[in-house]
Chains A and B, each alone.
Chain A
Amino acid sequence: MSAMMPPDTGPAGAVAVDEPAASTPPSAMKSLRRFLAKPSGALSISMLLVFLVTGLLGPLLVDRPGGLGSEILRSPSVAHWFGTDDLGQDVFAQVVWGTRVSLTVAVAASAIAIVIGTALGLLGAYSRRADAWVTTVTDLMLSLPLLPLMIMVTALVGPSVTTLTFVIGLFSWPEVTRLIRSNGLVVVSMPYIDGARALGATGWRIVTREVLPAVVPLIVVSVLLTAARAVISEAGLSFLGLGDPDSWSWGRIILNAQRSGVISTAWWQTLFPSLAILLLVLSATVAGVRFNDSRDPRLKDR
């Protein structure tokens, strides 16, 4: 019944990524230059760097928010750039400290999802027997409501940065598998793979030496898109009260505003963490899409 739909059209939740260009990869410098050639590339990378520096150095420069302050629910001012919350804590400091947690979870969870997703995707692409299983499990995972599943597991294990990282990582690989598998299939059907097989190369060798390098650009794209989704998942779980109680996170700042019933008055307490989420996820997504486009010779003049 989906005869008219291309078989690998991802769900609308996945950013559409074109088939990889099957030409020889351009050199690193050249790709970087092409990547930065459009403002979207340069802008998204700069924004990611700003977040990275904030996450690394921010907590060294800004005091850790905590305790009770005397200035309660102040709107943004020179002393408190992002205002203060109902405990008199500085929202700017909370956002800065939250950056570190968001980035840590995003990078680590994305790494977990990429390793599992790539391994399963390559397995499905190469081995026809394993493919039925890989596809079934992937489709199954993608069809389930994953947020309630993550909530249940996190609540049981006990919320911490480590728990969040593993839970998000272990439930985020299906999108990666789908992407790597569908493009791995294209690579596997190419004549040079038959050539390698004719020369007596083992399956392991073909997958790791021939197929894997061909999908590396897609893995880079996946890292960015998976990390972007991980930021949203982390914020969602923290917003539902499943964040690490000992560290700040953007979702937790918004939850605090909701719990203390000040979302209608203290707009700064929800606006700034929301903007942080939006900008970080948007720049990671745009960077991923831009990277993909910059490698595609068909899009050279765009």
Chain B
Amino acid sequence: MAEFIARRAMRAILTIWIAVTVTFFLLRLLPGDPTLLVVEGDMTPEMQQALREQYGLDKPMLTQYWLYLTELARGNLGTSFRQLQPVTDIIVSRLPWTALLAGSAFVLTIVLGIPLGVYAAAHRGKRVDRVVQMFGITGHALFVPSIGILLLVVAGSWLGWFPIGGAIDPDTRGADAYVSLLHHLALPLLSLVVVQLGPYALTLRTNMLEVLGEDYIKSARGRGLSPQRTLWRHALRNAFLPALTLMGLQLGTLVGGAVLTETVFAYPGVGRLIYEAVGQLDYPLLQGAFIMLAITVVVANLITDVISMLLNPRIRA
């Protein structure tokens, strides 16, 4: 078990290293001045000189790469062009909001998706099943900002049920603050879940149909277990772990969706930060945001894998 975790952790580190390396070389081989990635005109001459030396911008590219990795290992992602602060500090202050949004979407999609997929599989060809199939195909065609704007306009502006921007009302205290937090989270979260849920439930339905065809299910039915009991006790138990793994594979897409929803709802996470950095051509911030999101996704994926392993009796022993 420890070996499994160690192997998975090694793979996670390798993934992050490759992502960082590809980013480094990709950005430097593209047309354009690579110093533009680190130093910018708004900075004071002293600041520019310090950064040039820190990143060895006059040295060969491999030296630069080594310096870049060293700085990265120390948690230094460079200095933001516009805010003139360490990129790491800026992103770390925003990351909890994105983690909250994407994490809630992750959990909610699983919680809603599994019953939906199982139910559709159990009622194959019936109306519920056809609705899930339709929803699954349509999900691929849903554009996150479109859904976000629809919810914002209808439930936020017209009906006035939910706030139309921000993450929390700063004047609230105690329990009210949590209510305000959830109130602000509802619409961005819902727009993410609406887009994710259909395709997820559809894939689970397909997996479930395979499970239902297996021998142990037939034997459970043969022993006289009711279809309901077979489904929810036997089949679901075996469908849950793959469902968790499957959602883990979706984390990258989920974070991409979060970037778009946050922009629509002015939600103060990393996504909104990226949107602002694009407008200001703040390259260190964009690069840092990608690396931090990549690390977050890889670590979350690792946690998902470890949880599935702990839940899996075959490996746990």
Contacts and interface: CB of A to CB of B under 8 A. Distances in A.
Interface in A138-162: 140, 142-149, 151-153, 155-158
Given A12-B196, A289-B137, A152 B290 contact: yes
Interface in A88-116: none
B200 interface: yes
Contacts of A264: 152-153, 156-158, 164
Nearest to B201: A12
A143 B248 CA distance: 9
Contacts of A286: 137
B143 interface: yes
A4 B287 contact: no
Interface in A212-229: 228-229
A232 B145 CA distance: 10
Find the residue from A9, A11, A16, A277 having the highest chain B CB count within 10 A: A11
Interface of B is mostly: helix
Contacts of A151: 259, 274, 278, 286, 290
B300 to A, nearest CB: 10
Interface in A9-60: 9-13, 15-16
A148 B291 CA distance: 9
**For the side of the interface on B, what is the size category?**
35 or more
A147 B152 contact: no
Contacts of A143: 15, 249, 251-252, 297-298, 301
B172 interface: no
Interface stretch (A61-69, A117-125, A191-199, A238-246): A238-246
A230 interface: no
B192 interface: no
Contact of A2 (B27, B140, B242, B281): B242
Given A144-B19, A144-B294, A155-B283, A282 B207 contact: no
Given A1-B315, A140-B15, A143-B301, A242 B278 contact: yes
Interface stretch (B30-38, B68-76, B176-184, B220-228): B30-38
B149 A254 contact: yes
Nearest to A280: B141
Contacts of A10: 203
A236 B309 CA distance: 35
Interface in B52-90: none
**For the side of the interface on A, what is the size category?**
35 or more
Interface string B197-211: 001101110110011
Given A152-B290, A274-B146, A146 B256 contact: yes
A14 B221 CA distance: 33
B293 interface: yes
Contacts of A289: 137
Contacts of A4: 211, 238, 241-242
Contact of A152 (B23, B245, B297): B23
Contacts of A156: 27, 30, 32, 36-37, 283, 286
A263 B149 contact: yes
Nearest to A239: B145
A277 B147 CA distance: 12
B220 to A, nearest CB: 16
B246 interface: yes
A5 interface: yes
A241 B277 CA distance: 10
B30 A240 contact: no
Nearest to B26: A153
A254 B30 contact: no
Given A4-B241, A143-B297, A264-B157, A148 B256 contact: yes
Contacts of B150: 274
A119 B184 CA distance: 46
Contacts of A144: 15, 19, 252, 294, 297
A144 B293 CA distance: 8
A274 B293 contact: no
B264 to A, nearest CB: 7
A16 B264 CA distance: 30
Contacts of B290: 145, 148-149, 151-152
Contacts of A12: 196, 199-200, 202-204, 246-247, 249-250
22 contacts: A9-B203, A9-B246, A11-B249, A12-B202, A142-B249, A142-B252, A144-B19, A144-B297, A148-B290, A149-B23, A152-B283, A153-B27, A155-B281, A156-B27, A157-B32, A239-B145, A240-B260, A254-B146, A274-B150, A277-B143, A278-B141, A281-B141
Given A143-B249, A156-B30, 15 more contacts: A6-B207, A12-B196, A12-B250, A147-B256, A148-B274, A149-B294, A153-B30, A156-B27, A228-B141, A236-B145, A270-B153, A278-B141, A282-B137, A285-B137, A286-B137
- 5 nearest A-B residue pairs (beta carbon): A147-B256, A274-B146, A264-B157, A281-B141, A282-B141
